[in-house]
């Protein structure tokens, strides 16, 4: 293999893999909070995941995996109509991250 090709292949793989899970526009409005705000309705548990040995985990730092899992959880919460998300623990396996969180629909302040 040509030396330039050897150098560029890891860069190409990392540029694809290191990006993580993108936050969808609707999920940008889901507020991440530490505790349940008053007068909120629980919409249930959502699981956010990012990485995986075959997909992106090998080339993605733990911080990006955790961020991707949070983005995935916010995306799923938004699909349920949530306004708020209370994250639980994040499990990092070295090549993947999983986040469990509770989605809530809360009244917006006037």
| pLDDT per residue rounded down to tens, the chain (110 residues) | 444 444 444 433 444 445 478 999 999 999 999 999 889 999 999 999 998 765 554 577 888 999 999 999 999 999 999 999 999 999 998 789 999 999 999 997 76
- Where are the alpha helices (H) located in the chain, listed in sequence order? 3-17, 62-79
For residues 67 and 87, is the Cβ–Cβ distance under 8 A? no
Q: Could you count the other beta carbons within 10 Å of the beta carbon of residue 76?
A: 21
CA distance 87 to 77: 11
Predicted local confidence at residue 9, as pLDDT: 40
Residue 26: Cβ-neighbour burial (10 angstroms; 0-12, 13-18, 19+): middle
Predicted local confidence at residue 73, as pLDDT: 98
Domain extents for the chain?
3-105
- 3-105 CATH choice from 3.30.110.70, 3.30.2130.10, 3.30.1330.10, 1.10.3720.10: 3.30.110.70
């Amino acid at each position: 293999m040509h030396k330039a090709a050897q150098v560029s292949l890891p860069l190409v793989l990392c540029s694809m893999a290191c990006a993580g899970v993108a936050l969808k526009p609707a999920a940008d409005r889901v507020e991440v909070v530490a505790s349940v705000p008053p007068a909120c309705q629980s919409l249930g548990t959502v699981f956010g995941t990012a990485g995986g040995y075959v997909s992106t985990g090998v080339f993605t730092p733990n911080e990006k995996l955790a961020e991707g899992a949070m983005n995935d959880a916010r995306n799923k919460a938004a699909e349920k109509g949530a306004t708020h998300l209370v994250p639980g623990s994040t499990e990092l396996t070295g090549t993947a991250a999983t986040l469990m969180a509770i989605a809530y629909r809360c009244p917006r302040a006037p």
